[in-house]
Amino acid sequence: MAFSNSTFPPPVDPFTQPVTLLMPDGTPFNVTMDDFAQMHFWGVDLGVLYGTEIGMSVVTLVAYAVLTQPSKRRSTIYALNLLALIFNTIRAILLAVYVGGPWQNPYAYFADDWSRVPRSAYANSIAAPVMKFLELCCVEASLVLQVHTVLATTSTVWRWFFVALSTLVGLVALGFVFAVMVMNAQAIMDLTSGYLFESITSASNITTTISICFFFIIFTSKLGYALAQRRKLGLHKFGPMQILFIMGLQTMIIPGE
């Protein structure tokens, strides 16, 4: 009530004026209104991103489960793809829970005081990168099996060479993702910054992108070779194979560059 009739000099910019908070031991520190706004906008952006990812994952999961031919639902590739979508959906939900969880408490964030964050929130944050690793395991295994299937008509030597090479490429990507998963879990438990292993995270993203591009170069190359063979046989009609080849180039090779 002492402040009800008091006036103060107007701030230069009221939207960036400082707010004084106290540490648990009583030490004061300042946070600006702009800091609160930036934290708010960052949380909204993440919420929209993860919410969109949940919706897309669920729609893709349902469509894949419903539209796949019953004869193909017993294949290993179908099971791996389905598991990858399930893991991605779980990961997106865990990340969305993080946005609305105790990690986003403004005081805990600015004071770096995480004493009231429960162990369940730690487990949730650690589970998200674990889901990402399991998802990538399913994706890489599915792609290796698809390479084996696509190259079924080639010679045995070349087929197993590319299968071995694709397995190696996939394992390298999985190795980096596994390293990031372990370091991230350790950083969460120790309450340290992820910037300490930023180089490993960048290497993980690069190797994962390279592996995906590598697989689809094989797929589009095989499809292009099949189209060339069809042209030699006098089959020039534009059809589904040409569409797949064009879309493969547009959605995988060109963005990868």
Residues 172-182 have pLDDT tens digits of 999 999 999 99
Is the Cβ–Cβ distance between 93 and 54 less than 8 Å?
A: yes
pTM, rounded to two decimals: 0.83
DSSP sequence for 180-228: HHHHHHHHHHHT--GGGGHHHHHHHHHHHHHHHHHHHHHHHHHHHHHHH
The secondary structure of residue 253, as a DSSP letter, is: I
Q: Residue 189's pLDDT band (boundaries 50, 70, 90)?
A: very high
Determine the distance from the C-alpha atom of residue 112 to the mean position of all C-alpha atoms in its chain, rounded to a whole number: 27
pLDDT higher at 245 or 43:
43
How far from the centroid of its chain's Cα atoms is residue 39's Cα? Answer: 22
HSE of 51, CA atoms in CB hemisphere, 13 A: 8
- The pLDDT of residue 154 is 80
> What percentage of residues in the chain have a pLDDT greater than 90?
49
- Those residues with Cβ within 8 angstroms of residue 137's Cβ, 6 or more apart along the chain or in another chain: 174
Determine the residue type at 2.
A
Round the average pLDDT of the chain to a whole number and report it: 84
Using DSSP's 3-state secondary structure scheme, residue 95 falls into helix
Residue 201: C-alpha distances to residues 1, 159, 214, 244 (Å): 52, 32, 20, 32
Categorize the per-residue pLDDT at 1 as very low, low, confident or very high, splitting at 50, 70 and 90. Answer: very low
- Whether 2 shows a pLDDT value over 60: the answer reads no
Distance CA 27, CA 224 (A): 68
Which helix (H) or strand (E) element contains residue 115?
A: none
pLDDT at 55 over 90: yes
pLDDT in the model for residue 137: 96
Q: What are the residue ranges spanned by the domains of the chain?
A: 17-117, 122-257
Find, among 91, 166, 165, the residue nearest to 130 by Cα: 91
Structure tokens at 224: 């292009």
